[in-house]
């Protein structure tokens, strides 16, 4: 049975209940993180907690715990749940008010929730044959660097992909590629890895950092800067990255082949580096 943490106590998930007046429920007023756990070790916990602080600062919500306490709670959740590899989800909402009011309540206790799910990495077939994506205009707000629970736009955008039998929706804003509905997107053109910059138009992905570090470590040329929509659409390769999907090759975009329509040679190298890194570093605890 799944054990979760809610407001100071560990309990079976069926017993975890929050108020209908919680601002997370009423307004999507909250922050979250998804932390992959390999061999029971959370990967890059300090980086996830630093991104969490950035989100909390951005939405003016006081961090209820210091990093040591977060690390203790995450460690407890991992220990209390089965599975060597897990996906730890944590969220903090602004808490429950007595009446519905857009402005923040004067005094409110944040709601803290942590759960663990099995870490399900993509099936090998997706890496071997690649995945299909659709594209859409990035209709989200202008603080996509914040990992907030207000995810309706992301949900609608991801559903466009599912409706089309695809895996991800690649987003374009004002002629530039931003990211995916729930992932970061890289392009490869003439052997150079192209990554959109960490600005307010995309989430600064932890996996994004790993991919750029691996590129640097193995001498793959990489450029971080705005990626024009035309460049993305004519790229030799497109990849999506996230903590749960790792790195996946996108071989079709809007029904058209990306490059040769097969996972590209640069992806294959990156995938091998990523798997080696996972075994050597992630599983050992970094």
Identify which of residues 257 and 285 has a Cβ nearer to ligand PDD in the complex: 285
Q: How far is the CB of 105 from ligand PDD (least distance, A)?
A: 27
- With a CB cutoff of 8 Å and minimum separation 6, the contacts of 149 are 24, 28, 29, 30, 31, 32, 91, 93
Q: Tell me which residues touch ligand PDD (CB under 6 A).
A: 34, 154, 179, 182-184, 203, 205-208, 241-244
Q: How far is the CB of 200 from ligand PDD (least distance, A)?
A: 13
Identify which of residues 86 and 97 has a Cβ nearer to ligand PDD in the complex: 86
- With a CB cutoff of 8 Å and minimum separation 6, the contacts of 131 are 166, 167, 168, 240, 248, 249, 250, 251
Rounded to the nearest 5°, which phi and psi values hold at 152?
-60, -45
Identify which of residues 191 and 285 has a Cβ nearer to ligand PDD in the complex: 285
CA distance 249 to 241: 9
Q: How far is the CB of 185 from ligand PDD (least distance, A)?
A: 9
- With a CB cutoff of 8 Å and minimum separation 6, the contacts of 10 are 3, 4, 76, 77, 80
Q: How far is the CB of 206 from ligand PDD (least distance, A)?
A: 4
Q: Nearest-CA neighbor of 77 among 91, 97, 95, 63?
A: 91
Cα 239 to chain centroid, rounded = 14
Identify which of residues 22 and 179 has a Cβ nearer to ligand PDD in the complex: 179
Residues that are catalytic:
147
Identify which of residues 81 and 154 has a Cβ nearer to ligand PDD in the complex: 154
CA distance 203 to 92: 18
Q: Is 107 exposed, middle or buried (0-12, 13-18, 19+ CB in 10 A)?
A: exposed
Encoded tokens for 22: 């919680």
Helix (H) or strand (E) segment spanning residue 70: helix 67-80
Identify which of residues 81 and 207 has a Cβ nearer to ligand PDD in the complex: 207
Q: How far is the CB of 248 from ligand PDD (least distance, A)?
A: 12
Radius of gyration, alpha carbons of the chain = 19
Pairing of strands 246-253, 237-242: antiparallel
């Amino acid at each position: 049975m799944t054990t979760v943490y809610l407001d100071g106590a560990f309990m079976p998930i069926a017993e975890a209940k929050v108020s209908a007046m919680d601002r997370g429920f009423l307004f999507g007023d909250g922050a979250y993180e998804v932390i992959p756990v390999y061999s029971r070790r959370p990967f890059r916990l300090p980086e996830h907690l630093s991104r969490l602080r950035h989100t909390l600062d951005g939405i003016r919500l006081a961090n209820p715990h210091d990093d040591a306490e977060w690390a203790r709670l995450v460690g407890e959740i991992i220990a209390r749940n089965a599975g060597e590899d897990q996906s730890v989800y944590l969220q903090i909402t602004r808490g429950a008010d007595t009446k519905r009011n857009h402005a923040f309540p004067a005094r409110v206790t944040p709601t803290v929730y942590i759960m663990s799910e099995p870490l399900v990495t993509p099936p090998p077939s997706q890496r071997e044959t690649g995945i299909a994506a659709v594209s859409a205009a990035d209709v989200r707000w202008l603080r996509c660097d914040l990992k907030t629970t207000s995810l309706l736009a992301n949900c609608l955008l991801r559903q466009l992909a599912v409706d089309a039998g695809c895996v991800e929706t690649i987003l374009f804003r004002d002629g530039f590629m931003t990211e995916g509905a729930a992932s970061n997107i890289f392009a490869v053109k003439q052997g150079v890895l192209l990554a959109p910059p960490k600005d307010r138009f995309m989430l600064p992905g932890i996996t994004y950092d790993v991919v750029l570090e691996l590129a640097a470590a193995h001498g793959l040329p990489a450029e971080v800067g705005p990626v024009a929509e035309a460049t993305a659409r004519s790229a030799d390769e497109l990849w999506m990255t996230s903590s749960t999907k790792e790195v996946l090759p996108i071989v079709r975009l809007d029904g058209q082949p990306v490059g040769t329509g097969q996972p590209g040679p640069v992806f294959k190298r990156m995938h091998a580096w990523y798997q080696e890194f996972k075994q050597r570093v992630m599983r050992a605890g970094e």
